[in-house]
Structure 1
Amino acid sequence: MKTYGVTVTRHGYLYETEPAYVTDQPKFLNSAIRGTTKLNPHDLLAVLKRIEAELGCTSGIRYGPRPIDLDILFYGGESSIGNEGIKRVLPLGDQLVDWSKKTHVMGILNLTPDSFSDGGKFLEARDAVSHFRSLISKGADKVDIGAQSTRPFSERLTVDQELDRLIPVLDEIINIPESKGIILSVDTFYADVAAEAVSRGVHVVNDVSSGTLDPQILDVVASLGVPFITMHMRGDPSTMQNCENLHYGDVCKEVASELYQRVSAAELAGIPLWRIVADPD
């Protein structure tokens, strides 16, 4: 759409529904975007039909199976749409996760000597893999793997140092039977680390800085097409305990406002809202 003169300004969430009219086909995935364009409604509709054709929507069966269906919901106005029969889902790996079905448990694997909870316990690959197996056996659905400590006043690693800690463990975990079906996230604020981890099989990027420590990570995650966990944090680990960063007038309102700004930045970088998970911690 951008190529044809439509600028996307907001993404909706992703929803899964039963197929309509012709029911002998897979379930539908639905979303909506808000955008701006200089095209009039008729030209915009022609552009959308051209995009459909380019993506293979040529079966000729009305309401039949098709890879994509683009429609104009509103032009120059807004309305409300009911939610009966739809459920919000998040693409994770080769799964569509419906958050309403169960509480998902995320295990934490820190490959650091100085994390506040378990620093130094899993520096060796064999210990890290053993802990990963233990997390899965205890019911973890997902495991977050981090090689950079972000405790207050921690010393920042370089990209190469972080990769040296992360990659040997990650490569072993990816290849063990217990990792099958488990969602893996990498806890990093470096774009290069995120890209390398995803290239090796990680499904999610979890950035405690929400793109403030390495702004390139937003563009990289957008290009990788994976979910992005954006967290609220003021400053960086060396300054997060400063008096000015600890002062809140209305903590809930201010955290929500600051986190919303980071969600907006991620959207503007091209990460659709259905791939963004907000972490207010």
Structure 2
Amino acid sequence: MSEPRPHARDRLPIWWRWWRAAGHLAVGVDFDGTLAPIVPDPEAAQPLPGALSALARLADRRDARVAVLSGRALDDLQRRLPVAGVWMAGNHGFEIVGPDGTRWCHPDLERSRAALGQAAEQLRRAAAAWSGVFVEDKGGTLSVHVRHADPTARAAVEAAVRAVAEREGWRLTRGLEVWELRPAVAWHKGKALEWLLARWNWPAATPLLYWGDDTTDEDAFAWLRQRNAPGEGVLVGPPEAPSAATAWVEGPDGVAALLAALADGP
């Protein structure tokens, strides 16, 4: 039987030791369910004030870099995070913007925009027959929200989404009450973190911590495990949940408290 996943607060001394040894630290954080509590209406989601304050303090340090990586569209993410000095990645890392406003977009995202827009219209027409289903075109990926869907419609929604993914050859993932469609290329939140380290011109062995709560965060957790460098994936959720993360914290309040403690050291 495997060892239980430790609580992230018990890992703080180790993280500080890594930070002192390397002289710098990279921090990546998901948005929904990590900085912001999950709410019935995704448009109403807002980060906890304590999380914003902690991110600002970390980003203000010369020996730290901070990035928020989300499935949300990049413009949407920027509106919700009024924090100077933080890098932001939208559409699961396909779009990235730096604190100075410099933007980068994965080339395959640009090539897929038109087809994604057409698929969104097709799914919206189908969703008209399903109460509570919302199709969100994020300009590079699609989300089909089923949080408020009639339970009897969920099987039909899944069949329609899978049919589109198979026809276009796109990657399909199931999140928390949402189906995600995105280009089937070797790019995800882990690759985005790797890109950021290179962009910051920091060594590949830089210690890196990443917090997340959903299916697409597993890409980052798995990437961290295969890195030959200090790092940790922190699952925002129950300690027994299946995940490649190596530590856990109970929710956005816990994330905010840990980020604040991290900003105070080493």
Alignment TM-score, normalising by the size of structure 2: 0.31
- Which has the larger share of helix? 2
Mark the structure with the bigger radius of gyration.
1
